[in-house]
Amino acid sequence: MATLDDLRRTAERMPGSEERSTTGGAAWFVRGKPYAWECHPWPSVPADMREVIAAELVVGVKVADQVDALALVEMMPDVFLRTTTPWGEPKVAFRMAGIDDDHLIELVTEAWRMQAPKYLRREFDGEDG
């Protein structure tokens, strides 16, 4: 089971990554763009999903497109939530209790890549200018 500390350790490895405290909890940004965040049971979240978010730690991440989000939900419907809020798409939210460390690293790294500029992606990949 992954924790927020695991997410923090992964995010700290990403060039330009910054953790901020928001009204919904912790969120991670690169160059001012969010790529991972704690989900909060906002009134705009569908009631059944709001119950899950209120009861356990749920994290959202950016994904390449809505097809990727739907594939994750279909692959692991007990872990990935079908929907949260309409803003910030494409994204997917998941129960941290259902994610192992390797999958968390993959999700956070890919989310960071969606938001990071090329020069930071090259730096992360160890490529020269």
Q: What is the CATH number of the domain that holds 74?
A: 3.90.1150.30
User: Which phi-psi region, left, alpha or beta, contains residue 113 (left: φ > 0; alpha: ψ -120 to 50)?
Assistant: alpha
Distance separating alpha carbons of residues 73 and 68, to the nearest angstrom: 9
How many domains, the chain?
1
Q: Which domain holds residue 95?
A: 4-125
Q: How far is CA 81 from CA 21, 36, 68, 104, 126, in A?
A: 23, 15, 13, 15, 34
Could you read off the pLDDT of 106-129 as tens digits, one per residue?
999 999 999 999 999 999 999 755
pTM: 0.92
- Res 4: pLDDT: 94
